[in-house]
Amino acid sequence: MLKKSFFIVFIVLFLDQALKFWIKTNMMLGQEFVIFPWFIIHFTENSGMAFGMEFGGSYGKLALSVFRIIAIGAIAWYIYSLIKQRARQGLIIAISLIFAGAAGNLIDSVFYGVLFNDSFFQVASLFPSQGGYSSLLHGNVVDMLYFPLIEGVFPTWFPLWGGEDFLFFRPVFNIADSSITIGVCMLLLFQKRYFKEGKPILG
Cβ–Cβ < 8 Å for 154, 163: yes
Cβ–Cβ < 8 Å for 80, 99: no
Q: Catalytic: 165?
A: no
Report the DSSP beta bridge partners of residue 44: 143
| Helix and strand counts by DSSP (H, E) for the chain | 6, 8
Residue 16: half-sphere exposure toward Cβ, Cα within 13 Å: 28
How far apart CA 152 and CA 147 sit, in angstroms, is 15
Given the residues 16, 118, 143, 165, select the one marked as catalytic: 143
Euclidean distance between the first and final Cα of the chain, in Å? 12
Q: Catalytic: 143?
A: yes
Active site residues: 143, 177
